[in-house]
């Protein structure tokens, strides 16, 4: 390749893509816009900028510099937002601790990331004490405390607000290489210890721009705009809260951070702060909708991206009936995370069932995403809505490997595409649909059965509140699907009714007759992972012989 | 700086920002969307992709490779759009020829850019023959011809459609450094020969994303979305048609290319193809609105960015009265071009005059733009709507210099900011207003007078169709403003009425009494530059002693 490289005159500014620059527009256009933390704090973007400077100064004061890792254990708060900016803007790396992991694993991830400082919400002190027992804890500990009356634990260098109050807002944020690592966090796989993924300033800026473009350019449904009020319902330790705090900041939105998630708090904030845009896992959305507190609240016009797991049709229907513009987003820890959004195309018919079809699809790729469904030789399968393969992708914001795990990194990127381990189909309209996880496929009598499709069909039964289909070993068929079903309060249904419901779909050719289970199991609740996904690993272990 | 560089596993794809990747989403999501060229051609994005491959193959066939420069002289067409993609995607450089320059200057720019191939619309053959006389023309000449019956001129290697028909669509577009030069073109200054600016793949991709985000995230006014139908009214040789063909393609919009601009053709296409989004200079917008063909056409809902010159309030009012969502965009050849858009903020009151105030401002910076108004030591002036200074900027898409002109390049970038040579103010809401050009400032009796502000006030007089204020030498005052005024057909007004109109503003303190001219000159038309801007240089020469 003999193309002409671009070179500039000596004084020309070769603009690096840094997280700092996401603040330029909101500060120039909307400096008085509000950021709200529950009923505790309310301040402007101007103050956000000031506090970002103070946080960086305070961290420098305790010995943090470029290249160091700063870990944080907090609920969703303005402090978390400040750390999203201040830590990477110093050239340091923000490590967002998954507070739902067992203490041993939290210790492992802190240790593995070489965290030099740790910011801990006082509510996590019991967890933190359990974590400490497992390793040499960083000696720079900062307490995050909502209550002004508190005792600083031994060994802590200070409390967040006091440190900020004592620090200068005028930290001189320098330019540096846009490929500098900005964030890192750990993803739990099916086997072994959690694996660290990592993202650069360039990657986060590009994810922000592409996601903002995709969300805002939608004609009507699934659209964000600068009058929206943003509140996350995804923990901020979970893949940058899907990158949305960066998008909300770039667009200068009013932002509302709800602290620990309780349906009543969320609904109260939703109403009081006039929230219009959120995102969360299906389980949380389910909790919010079925909360008594939501019964008399007008949810009309609330826009919610659902991800982390497939959006069940039953949940989508319940949300749409409340006037909620609910739709699927897809991605994972390795992908920053957004790859697709289940937005309507302009040509979509105005039909309620078709509308739900679209909202519950996995979605259309957002700008710059090269998304493919491929066979084992990385050849595209047909886009006919039937041919399955693994979903692989290229985008400017995918982790370039796992920290310190060369074999897993190469497996993730084999053939130059990131392998999602999800199985999917692309239909003739270009919509992706995840049909299964590679490790969660059920092969029965030589036929593949999609547990996700079965879950979707079972969720359509009016008595069903939640469902998870697991794979159990079977002497005759190799494997068989077993649905675990939670009924709605006050509803009744027996196994026979469920099987008749499914046989109806088989009779109409929606699923194969092999896919109809032999039995179902009614349960009181379904186990979830630390990030709220259905924990199929645990469910399999628990119900293997149920 | 000791920050951690980001490195990936060997197989990881280090995604370069290339123009090719703007095509990923529209081809995945909207491959059947239409691209229309007048009444001549109508095809899908799928065909666009196919023709981009054929164009690259055809160019390779005639000896063009990475690093070579390919020049084009055409009206706005699907061919121009194809060249926007195919030429840079090969690693070659697209040189967009300003066909309105005098032949000697066109020859200079072709020569200076070292164009190795030239694509010429048959309509420009007389110009081209005049150009040829001035230099050693590239020996790879391709004819662009709308008429199927034509004679290939001597020395031409072929006609565009025949070459494409004979070429393979399967050109293997390779990856290369995102800093590779993609485009170059020439800007005419006040002195000397035209100067070449240049833009890389990375710069054009980032300009596209930031512009798409800014335009689409507007709550209501000044908003683009994926159901819009796009038609440029800015020549495609003029700063990438403001980058909008790339935005329209990324969003998968229906695109309509109108060929040579004639108000009747534009209005006909607008109506027939249901165009909803355009952009152009005030002069052209003025021509369209005052065309008899527009009289009975419903223009309601048409969105138009106006740039190149300030949007006069009178024109804005006339457009808004027709239901047009008209607003200002600001930038220049050196800036790719967009720096600001005059969009409403959510907090704007619903008042007709205030609405026009916003639409005619220069605008708010789009994402990633670091826009400042500074004194000669590059210190910010107060954001009070009064303090003036030079507008300087940083953004990821500014030319890094002028081709082969080290002194001008350093002057452009002195102090690490691109100097626009525009004088402006920023108000307390963050809106920029250009008040003058550095080279066009009128200093009278020691007071600065803004010619742009005077033009705006004069344009509010109901009899005024067009106005340009020039600076003439004056023995007593040093310089004095002289308005050149074109009256609307059938309207009458004399000098006294005009001066009374302006004295009213002076009496109300809108302008200083020094700013009220001593005389006005009524003219039949106002000279324009090759890109449709008011040609103050020529006007000054012509009316200096009028």
Q: Across all residues in chain A, what is the average pLDDT?
A: 92
Instruction: Identify the pLDDT of residue A1.
Output: 34
DSSP A219: S
State the best of B7, B28, B427 to mutate against chain A, taking most chain A CBs within 10 Å. B28
A217/B210 touch (CB, cutoff 8 Å), yes or no: no
pLDDT over threshold 50, residue A74: yes
Identify whether the C-beta of residue B19 lies closer than 8 Å to the C-beta of residue B205: yes
B67/A2 touch (CB, cutoff 8 Å), yes or no: yes
| DSSP H or E stretch at residue A332 | none
B41: phi then psi, degrees, rounded to nearest 5: -140, 145
Burial (CB < 10 A; 0-12, 13-18, 19+), residue B177, is middle
B9/A409 touch (CB, cutoff 8 Å), yes or no: yes
Q: What angle do CA B202, B207, B208 make, to 5 degrees?
A: 100
Burial (CB < 10 A; 0-12, 13-18, 19+), residue A183, is buried
Q: Give which of B399, B181, B68, B204 is closest to A6, Cα–Cα.
A: B181
How many CB atoms sit inside 10 A of residue A146's CB? Answer: 18
For chain B of 546 residues, list the mean pLDDT of each consecutive stretch of 10: 61 97 97 97 98 98 97 98 98 95 89 96 93 86 92 94 98 97 85 86 98 97 96 96 98 97 94 97 90 94 93 94 97 97 80 94 98 94 94 98 94 96 95 83 70 88 92 81 93 92 86 87 89 80 75
The closest CB to that of A218, out of B4, B13, B225, belongs to: B225
A6/B412 touch (CB, cutoff 8 Å), yes or no: no
Confidence band for A447, pLDDT divided at 50, 70 and 90: low
DSSP B19: G
A325-331 sheet: strands from edge to edge? A41-44, A34-37, A254-257, A229-230, A277-280, A303-306, A325-331, A338-341, A364-365
Query: 0.95 exceeded by the pTM?
Result: no
The closest CB to that of B3, out of A8, A176, A412, belongs to: A176
Q: What is the 3-state secondary structure (H, E, C) of A133-201?
A: CCCCCCCEEEEECCCCCCCCCCCEEEEHHHHHHHCCCCCCCCCCCCCEEEEEEEECCCCCCCEEEEEEH
B448 is a catalytic site residue: yes
Identify the residue whose tokens are 């740790």: A118
Instruction: Identify the pLDDT of residue A5.
Output: 44
Instruction: Identify the pLDDT of residue B347.
Output: 59
**A140-160 average pLDDT score:** 93
pLDDT over threshold 70, residue A106: yes
B180/A2 touch (CB, cutoff 8 Å), yes or no: no
ipTM of the complex: 0.87
State the best of B20, B367, B417, B419 to mutate against chain A, taking most chain A CBs within 10 Å. B367
Partner residues linked to A196 by β-bridges: A186
Report the alpha-carbon distance of residue A421 to residue A390 in Å, rounded: 6
Q: Give which of B109, B64, B62 is closest to B88, Cα–Cα.
A: B64
Instruction: Identify the pLDDT of residue B4.
Output: 44
B213 is a catalytic site residue: no
Residue of A nearest to B15 (CA): A396
The closest CB to that of A364, out of B29, B174, B395, belongs to: B29
Report the alpha-carbon distance of residue B118 to residue B107 in Å, rounded: 12
**A303-328 average pLDDT score:** 94
Asked if A110 reaches chain B (Cβ–Cβ under 8 Å), the answer is no
The closest CB to that of A415, out of B11, B225, B418, belongs to: B11
Contacts of A26 in chain B (CB under 8 A): none
Contacts of B398 in chain A (CB under 8 A): 12-13, 15
B364/A200 touch (CB, cutoff 8 Å), yes or no: no
Identify whether the C-beta of residue A281 lies closer than 8 Å to the C-beta of residue A328: no
Half-sphere exposure of A312 (CA within 13 A, CB side): 27
B6/A371 touch (CB, cutoff 8 Å), yes or no: no
**A419-430 average pLDDT score:** 95
Asked if A326 reaches chain B (Cβ–Cβ under 8 Å), the answer is no
Contacts of B369 in chain A (CB under 8 A): 24-25
DSSP B88: H
């Amino acid at each position: 390749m003999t193309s002409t490289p671009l070179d500039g005159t000596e004084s020309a500014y070769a603009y690096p893509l840094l997280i700092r620059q996401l603040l330029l527009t909101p500060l120039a256009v909307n400096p008085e816009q509000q950021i709200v933390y529950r009923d505790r704090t309310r301040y402007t973007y101007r103050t956000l900028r000031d506090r970002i400077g103070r946080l960086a100064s305070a961290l420098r004061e305790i010995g943090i510099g470029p290249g160091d890792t700063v870990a944080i254990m907090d609920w969703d708060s303005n402090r978390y937002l400040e750390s999203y900016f201040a830590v990477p803007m110093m050239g340091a790396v923000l490590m967002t601790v998954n507070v739902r992991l067992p203490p041993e694993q939290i210790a492992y991830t802190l240790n593995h990331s070489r965290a030099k400082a740790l910011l801990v919400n006082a509510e996590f002190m019991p967890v933190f004490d359990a974590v400490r027992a497992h390793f040499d804890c960083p000696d720079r500990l900062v307490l995050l405390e909502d209550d002004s009356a508190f005792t600083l634990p031994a060994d802590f260098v200070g409390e967040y607000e006091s440190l900020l109050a004592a620090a200068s807002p005028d930290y001189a944020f320098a330019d540096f290489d846009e490929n500098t690592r900005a964030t890192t966090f750990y993803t739990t796989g099916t086997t072994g210890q959690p694996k660290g993924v990592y993202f650069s300033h360039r990657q986060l800026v590009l994810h922000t721009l592409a996601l903002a473009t995709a969300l805002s350019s939608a004609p009507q449904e699934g659209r964000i705009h600068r009058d929206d009020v943003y509140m996350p319902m995804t923990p901020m330790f979970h893949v940058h809260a899907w990158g949305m705090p960066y998008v909300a900041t770039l667009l200068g939105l009013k932002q509302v951070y709800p602290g620990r998630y309780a349906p009543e708090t969320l609904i109260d904030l939703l109403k009081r702060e006039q929230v219009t845009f959120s995102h969360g896992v299906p389980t949380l959305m389910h909790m919010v909708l079925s909360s008594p507190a939501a019964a008399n609240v007008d949810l009309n016009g609330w826009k919610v991206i659902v991800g982390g797991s497939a959006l069940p049709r039953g949940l989508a229907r319940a949300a749409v009936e409340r006037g909620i513009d609910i739709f699927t987003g897809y991605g994972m820890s390795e992908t920053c995370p957004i790859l697709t959004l289940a937005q309507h195309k302009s040509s979509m018919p105005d039909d309620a069932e078709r509308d739900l079809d679209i909202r519950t699809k996995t979605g259309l790729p957002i700008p710059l995403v090269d998304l493919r469904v491929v066979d084992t030789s990385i050849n595209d399968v047909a886009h006919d809505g039937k041919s399955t393969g693994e979903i692989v992708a290229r985008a400017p914001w995918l982790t370039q490997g796992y920290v310190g795990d060369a074999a897993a990194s190469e497996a993730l990127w084999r053939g130059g595409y990131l392998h999602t381990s999800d199985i999917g189909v692309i239909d003739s309209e270009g919509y992706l649909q995840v049909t299964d996880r590679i490790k969660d496929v059920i092969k029965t009598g030589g036929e593949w059965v999609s547990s996700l499709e079965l879950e979707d069909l079972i969720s359509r039964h009016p008595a069903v509140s939640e469902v998870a289909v697991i794979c159990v070993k079977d002497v005759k068929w190799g494997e068989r699907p077993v649905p675990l079903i939670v009924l709605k309060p006050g509803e009744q249904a027996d196994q026979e009714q469920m099987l008749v419901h499914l046989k109806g779909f088989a009779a109409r050719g929606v699923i194969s007759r092999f896919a109809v289970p032999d039995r179902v199991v009614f349960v009181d609740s379904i186990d979830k992972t630390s990030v709220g996904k259905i924990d199929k690993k645990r469910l399999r272990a628990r119900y293997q012989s149920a």
